[in-house]
A and B are shown apart, each in its own frame.
Chain A
Amino acid sequence: AQSVTQLGSHVSVSEGALVLLRCNYSSSVPPYLFWYVQYPNQGLQLLLKYTTGATLVKGINGFEAEFKKSETSFHLTKPSAHMSDAAEYFCAVNNAGNMLTFGGGTRLMVKP
């Protein structure tokens, strides 16, 4: 079985501050890991993914995430928040099967 935990359902940062969204997973095999972003009244869009290889993954809009197997984590970061980053972010895991499991989501708010 696989599961995903996102710590903090709401995160608030000031514009220009570091963004850190936490994701921990449980998996019996090396997983595929994803971060998706959802803007209001839209579907989810892929931010970045880890499948194999380099553990530091760069995505769109300046986001990156690091796969840490020993910590079973895949935290999402961005050095400097923009107002346009306000959205809901979802971490997801797949054990090389056909079922993608999502975390509960973290709503990011950016204060001017």
Chain B
Amino acid sequence: NAGVTQTPKFQVLKTGQSMTLQCAQDMNHEYMSWYRQDPGMGLRLIHYSVGAGITDQGEVPNGYNVSRSTTEDFPLRLLSAAPSQTSVYFCASTIRTGGSSPLHFGNGTRLTVT
């Protein structure tokens, strides 16, 4: 049972480059989300999805795009990377929306933008 799988684990980009962070879950979870973790700031929500074909913005969506074509996958796209996007990114999912179900987290992607 893989849970939430994120790839890659590490990535270095130059300013202006684009890339996609992959996230897949095998638990048939309805809700998926992306967070970024920065020292002293906890985790901040970037985008989330309550089902295939439905996405919405979180607290810090600028510079990031998402799509959800299947229940399992929720990729995060950086169209033109900036040094401010240097962070650790976590994908998380839960079985249902509404807030009472805990999140299951992937192991993160550490991104450095130079």
Residues of A within 8 A of B (CB): 4, 6, 9, 32, 34, 36, 41-46, 49, 51, 90, 94-105
**Does B53 interact with chain A (Cβ within 8 Å)?**
no
Pick the contact of A41: B58, B90, B107 (CB < 8 A): B107
> Are A44 and B97 within 8 A (Cβ)?
no
A-B contact pairs, 11 of them (CB 8 A): A32-B99, A42-B108, A43-B4, A43-B108, A46-B102, A49-B100, A98-B48, A102-B43, A104-B40, A104-B42, A105-B40
In the bound complex, what is the Cα–Cα distance between A24 and B45 (angstroms)?
19
Pick the contact of B90: A6, A43, A51 (CB < 8 A): A43
**Does B31 interact with chain A (Cβ within 8 Å)?**
yes
> Other than the known A98-B98, A99-B45, A103-B42, what 6 A-B pairs have Cβ atoms closer than 8 Å?
A36-B103, A44-B90, A46-B102, A98-B31, A100-B99, A104-B41
- In the complex, which residues of chain A have a beta carbon less than 8 angstroms from the beta carbon of B45? 99-101
> Are B103 and A99 within 8 A (Cβ)?
no
In the bound complex, what is the Cα–Cα distance between A6 and B41 (angstroms)?
11
- In the complex, which residues of chain A have a beta carbon less than 8 angstroms from the beta carbon of B33? 100
Residue of chain A at shortest CB distance from B103: A100
**Does B50 interact with chain A (Cβ within 8 Å)?**
yes
> Are A90 and B48 within 8 A (Cβ)?
no
* Contact A51 to B42, CB < 8 A, known contacts A98-B48, A98-B56, A99-B59: no
Residue of chain B at shortest CB distance from A42: B107
- In the complex, which residues of chain B have a beta carbon less than 8 angstroms from the beta carbon of A45? 105
> Are B31 and A43 within 8 A (Cβ)?
no
> Are B108 and A98 within 8 A (Cβ)?
no
Q: Which 4 A-B pairs rank lowest in CB-CB distance, beginning with the nearest?
A: A43-B105, A94-B99, A102-B42, A46-B102
